[in-house]
Amino acid sequence: MKKRLVMGTLTAALIAGSVPYEIHAQQEVMIQSEEGGPEEPSEPEQPEPAPSEEPQPTMEPEPTVAPQPTVEPEPTQAPAPTETPQEPTATPVPEPTTAPTETPAPTEIPQPTATPTPALVSVGLQIEPGDASVVILDAEGKILTPGFLDQHVHITGGGGEGSFHTRTPELQMSELVENGITTVVGLLGTDGITRSVDNLYAKTRVLCEEGVSAYMLTGAYGYPSPTITGETDRDIVFVNEILGVKLAISDHRAPNVTGDQLVQIASKARVAGMLSGKPGIVVLHMGDDKDGLAPVFRALEVSSVPVRIFRPTHVNRNEKLLEEGYEFLKRGGYIDLTCGMHTSPGECVLEAKKRGLPTEHITMSSDGHGSWSNYAEDGSLLEIGVSGVDALYKELKYMVQVLGMTLEEALPYMTCQVAEGLDLLGIKGTVAEGADADLLLFDQDLTLDTYVARGKIFMKHGEVIRKGTYEK
């Protein structure tokens, strides 16, 4: 009976998960104490019963009790050792190793790598987790978009139609930041005399050095075009920042070029673009004149200049011109809609969709820092003012919050479609690996929270933290 007890004790120890070498030690101690005890007491007891009765033989059934060895099947209980595999399976304390597989939680830290990725990959940096040079922005609950491209801004100021005191001021870089514009294209307007293409180039370089992306157009309203090198095509080829040429048509301030001259201007721009890997476009300021887009349609009929070279802007300034703009879309051309004009750009887009027109060639711009003006029938100036670069951002909110467009529907007209038209897609107008880190974070109500241009933070939590050189 005591031996059984010992075995039971051993089995319990195994199930409890004791360490093997500890179990063997218990075995030795317990077996020695049991063996040393029973043997001597059993011999003194047998002398008393031996004389009293040889029924000891009847006691021989004890040998039948000896089948206790058959009870040794308790050793079959020793299969408890088979339970010992449980211990090894317990050793799969590797389960802790599974815990390390949860350490992939650090792989969730790549979330941060996602934000910096666009921010720094474009600059050629390799980001490692824990890199002290990497700033992680908490964008939880925010909306991430590419930065806006505004392809029509008078960065050196415009206007002057009401004498010298009506010259509009130069653009300050913080204006771009406050309104989400990470890429800007500068150009001249009516004044190509006191404002020069040289000065425009200098301002373009200023903005680039201050941290945003800036390009420009050579030319102005007039013809022959003011240039840097003496020729529009040479400007496009040799000045890296120049993407094309500016010209005014169908306006009382326009030079009234002939059809042949328009074809020549466009042909030179196209070839220069081909030679330099640029769009080589002719941006056409469209006025209120009754001719509208007729000069462009004539140029396309008498030449082989691709329709995409001509880029009419301010197309939404009156109903007749807008109708011609829709026709221009049908022919595969691009049209640029100006924010704040006669018909909202967003409303023009909805109308184009209603008519089944291709809208992927529609772009929007602000005409920022240019002057707006109204004239009497005799041509005298009635009023004049200056446009802000905030018009593009306001139009986005109008399209989403008033017209009911989704953000995904509204954004392309000031991001990727503009980039495509300027041959900058893949670099600008997108959030993607390899693209420039031009990023915006918005609150759910489209309040601008964060502005990143070329991987540098200019605005955080709605506060401009990086300004132009001489801005306070």
Q: Which domains does the chain have, with CATH numbers?
A: 2-100 (no CATH), 109-136 (no CATH), 143-464 (3.20.20.140)
| pTM of the model as a whole | 0.72
pLDDT band at 98 (very low <50, low <70, confident <90, very high): very low
Is 173:203 a contact under the CB 8 Å cutoff? no
414 pLDDT more than 60: yes
Residue 470 pLDDT exceeds 60: yes
φ, ψ at 405 (rounded to 5°): -75, 150
Separation CA 342–CA 363 (nearest Å): 16
Helix 391-401 and helix 345-354: axis angle, to 10°? 50
Q: Tokens in use for 332?
A: 């595969």
Given this model, what pLDDT does residue 130 score?
66
- How do residues 299-344 score in pLDDT, each as one tens digit? 999 999 999 999 999 999 999 999 999 999 999 999 999 998 989 9
Distance of alpha carbon 146 from alpha carbon 304, whole angstroms:
36
Top pLDDT among 411 and 119 is at: 411
Q: CA dist 300 to 196, 223, 264, 398, 422, Å?
A: 30, 20, 12, 35, 21
Q: Residue-wise over 121-156: b if at least 16 C-beta within 10 A, else e?
A: bbeeeebeeeeeebbebebeeeebbbbbbbbbbbbb
199: pLDDT strictly greater than 90: yes
Average pLDDT rounded to a whole number, residues 213-219? 98
Phi, psi (deg, nearest 5) at residue 170: -65, 155
Q: Helix, strand, coil shares of the chain as percentages rounded to 5?
A: 45, 20, 40
Instruction: Find the helix or strand (DSSP H, E) in which 247 lies.
Output: strand 242-249
Q: How confident is the model at residue 126 (pLDDT cuts 50, 70, 90)?
A: low
Would you say 217 and 246 are in contact if contact means Cβ atoms under 8 Å apart? Answer: yes
Q: Are 266 and 298 in contact (CB under 8 A)?
A: no
CB of 338 within 8 A of CB of 366? yes
Q: What is the pLDDT of residues 21-45, one digit of tens each?
A: 333 333 333 333 333 444 444 444 4
How much is the pLDDT for 438?
A: 97
Residue 58 pLDDT > 50: no
Over residues 249-254, mean pLDDT: 93
The pLDDT, as a whole number, for residue 34 is 36
Cα 80 from Cα 52, distance rounded (Å): 44
Q: At what angle do helices 20-36 and 2-15 cross, to 10 degrees?
A: 170
The H-assigned helical ranges of 147-196 are 173-178
**How does the average pLDDT of the chain come out, rounded?**
80
Instruction: Check residues 46 and 362 and name the one with the higher pLDDT.
Output: 362
CB-based contact 287:256 (threshold 8 Å): no
Tokens of 2: 């005591």
Q: Which residues are catalytic?
A: 367
pLDDT reading at 360 higher than 90: yes
